[in-house]
A and B are shown apart, each in its own frame.
Chain A
Amino acid sequence: MSWITQTLTSTIGRKLVMALTGLFLVSFLFVHLSGNFLIFRADGGRAFNEYSQFMSSAGIVRVLEIIMVLGFAIHIYTSFVLTRRNQKARPQGYAFSQPSANSSWFSRNMGLSGSLVLIFLLLHLRTFWYTYKFGDIPTVTYEGTEYKDMAYLVKTVFQQEWWLSIFYVIIMVLLSFHLMHGFGSAFQTLGIRHKKYTPLIEKIGIAIAILVPAGFAAFPIYFLLTR
């Protein structure tokens, strides 16, 4: 084995991969969320539709899209490899254990919160990305150019399929749990721990874990309330 594969397949190396891809995916959340807020503009969905068109056609976005998919794939694959290894490390469990005495629920259930977010992600892609790309959705024309009416799709899905909206909100709570541990943990894995910075990193982690999922949950909640 070369030193690179040796490093990347060691337990610490795999955790390093988890941390780097995890932090990268957090940056994706910010981009996604900031674009979404365009739907709240009182312009009949024009800014949001133009943004959607840009996101599905611009060359640089396509490149970033591939990197993002790789980021997800590597993060998910590595989590499976690590989970399998960790399960094998304790083939026989305790008859009685009190894990809540020494650690947080969030930190012990990253696999659960992550898996539910993954299921959500597939459903989310099917509902919006697939429909936008290949589905039959109405179009609008702004100054002679035709755009797919993504704003209409989002509004109707969240308003008509109320159960899906509620599912979205629940999953955002789980995303919050995932970030609550994940953000700070990534820095610890990178070896960044210092009394000057760690308290700040932990506070930023909690802020991200609350504000970002709350921002995403605002969309289904808004459309549910304006039915």
Chain B
Amino acid sequence: MKLTLKIWRQKHANDKGKLVDYNVDINPEMSFLEMLDDLNEKLAERGEEPIAFDHDCREGICGTCNLYINGRPHGPIRTTTCQLHMRHFHEGESIVIEPWRARSFPVVKDLIVDRSAFDRIVQAGGYISVNTGSAPDANEIPIPKQIADEAFNSAACIACGACVAACKNASAMLFVGAQISKFALVPQGKAEKKIRAEKMVAQMDAEGFGACTNTGACSAECPVEISMTNIARLNREYIGAKLTSDNV
């Protein structure tokens, strides 16, 4: 299978960067990242600098891989980049591969971006302040199955950043909405829900992410199908917290 890859190459954070063409002949059974591994081996043999890209578990659960493939985060199907296979492309196709583009996700090198802005948002309030004693028995806190499932759906977020990459405003509302929701829905998280919403949104804004236009692009591209309900809940939680919390 012959393909032309147009890959973003950028030596370091301050380099201007450009798209470079690579003609490859690959096995269609390969995964997308295996294709890049294969290309990197060939580049190394030729004494050229391999292409830097993020990857870790390659099982679709860690959220580390993040490529903007042919104009969409994680490529043409709804999955993580590591779970994308070359059978979804056709002979002779040109594939444009770019890093996530957002002021809050600066490029480190080639296709790798710094997503620590997400970590700082989580550090601002994405936790429950219980630091004494052992974990309570799960069955001691009755939570209806339906609510537990809903909270778990929000907790499924792998923080890959596809939502920010897909959004025309580079907004992080879907990510923050998922973080807020997974706590706001269950009793353990309710105690601190106001301060959490206030602090996480303040950090989200401080990081320079855009505002939400409700286009739904984030949710449509999310590999773990985080729904727009999370954004509505974030709006509700934030406005409610601002109106009723004791933090003047």
B102 shortest CB reach to chain A, Å: 6
> Count of A-B contacts with CB under 8 A?
141
At the interface, yes or no: A142 with Cβ under 8 Å from chain B?
no
Residues from chain B with Cβ under 8 Å of A36 in the complex: none
Interface residues of B, dominant DSSP: mixed
Residues from chain A with Cβ under 8 Å of B229 in the complex: 193
Say whether A97 contacts B71, CB under 8 Å: yes
Interface residues of B (CB under 8 A from A): 6, 8, 19, 68, 70-72, 96, 98, 101-104, 166, 168-171, 173, 201-202, 204-205, 208-217, 220-221, 228-229, 231-240, 242, 247-248
**In the complex, which of the residues B96, B169, B170 contacts A95, with contact meaning CB atoms closer than 8 Å?**
B96
Residues from chain A with Cβ under 8 Å of B232 in the complex: 188, 191-193
Say whether B101 contacts A94, CB under 8 Å: yes
Say whether B168 contacts A108, CB under 8 Å: yes
**In the complex, which of the residues B98, B104, B212, B228 contacts A15, with contact meaning CB atoms closer than 8 Å?**
B212
Enumerate 10 A-B pairs (CB-CB under 8 Å) in ascending A order. A15-B212, A89-B208, A90-B210, A94-B71, A95-B96, A99-B71, A188-B214, A189-B212, A190-B235, A191-B233
Say whether B228 contacts A10, CB under 8 Å: no
Q: Mark A64-90, 1 if CB is under 8 A from B, else 0.
A: 000000000000000000100110111
Residues from chain A with Cβ under 8 Å of B236 in the complex: 190-191
Say whether B210 contacts A95, CB under 8 Å: no
Say whether B235 contacts A89, CB under 8 Å: no
Residues from chain A with Cβ under 8 Å of B168 in the complex: 86, 90, 99, 103, 108
A190 shortest CB reach to chain B, Å: 7
At the interface, yes or no: A102 with Cβ under 8 Å from chain B?
yes
Within 160-198 of A, Cβ neighbours of B (below 8 Å) are at 181, 184-185, 188-193
Bound-state CA distance A193–B204 (Å) is 22
**In the complex, which of the residues A11, A90, A98 contacts B71, with contact meaning CB atoms closer than 8 Å?**
A98
Residues from chain A with Cβ under 8 Å of B19 in the complex: 95
B211 (CB) vs chain A CBs: closest residue: A11
A191 shortest CB reach to chain B, Å: 3
